[in-house]
Structure 1
Amino acid sequence: MRLTPEQVEIIKHSAAEVFGGGVSVRLFGSRLDDGARGGDIDLLVESPLEIEGKMDKMLTLTARLQLRLGDQPIDILVVDPTTPLNPVHRHARETAQTL
């Protein structure tokens, strides 16, 4: 995993601030490959409960992370029980590592 322990804590703390403590945050995509370079930070945020204002919260988290981690590409998928899963969601769930 190509995130520092400090970056992991910033991501987890920021997600809890925005979505509440009941969400899980997992990393998927190229940042899981220790041999790769660059790439965006792909995050899967999952909640067992329905999230009100899902899009607004996703945008808020993206902005906070860019301020706290530096201006770099961050992609966030948010999944709750009402989310219709598509292939990207399924791939993220299958390959992601919990932060």
Structure 2
Amino acid sequence: MRLSADQVSAIKAAALEAFGPSATVRLFGSRADDDRTGGDIDLHVEADPDVADLAHEVLFRASIWKALDEEQIDVVVAARGAEPRWIDRAARREGIVL
């Protein structure tokens, strides 16, 4: 995983603030692979249905951008229990839980 401990802490704190303590955040994509270089930060958040919406995603993104000063962050939010999309299945299969 190519994230620092400070980056992981900031992501987890932002998820707690935006989605609550039951949210699961996974890093997937190129940053999850130690053998690759570069790439944006791809995050998959699985949250309770009542907070898996655009307003909470915006809060999450704003908190991360303030803490990490990163411009290349992609976020996918999935409601826990909803029918998984292809991106949800890929993130669950290949992602690393933070």
TM-score normalized by the length of structure 1? 0.88
CA-to-aligned-CA distance 1:33-87 (integer Å, 9 cap, x gap): 112221111111112x313461111122112111110132111111113644221
Q: Does 1:51 align with 2:50?
A: yes
Unmatched segments (≥5 aa) in structure 1? none
**Equivalent position SS for 1:56:** helix
Where does 1:14-29 land on structure 2 (aligned, <5 Å)?
14-29=14-29
TM-score normalized by the length of structure 2? 0.88
Q: Identity, % of aligned pairs?
A: 38
In structure 1, what is the equivalent of residue 31 of structure 2? 31
TM superposition outliers: structure 1 runs of 4+ over 4 Å:
none
Where does 1:1-99 land on structure 2 (aligned, <5 Å)?
1-47=1-47, 49-52=48-51, 54-81=53-80, 83-99=82-98
Aligned-residue CA RMSD (Å)? 1.6
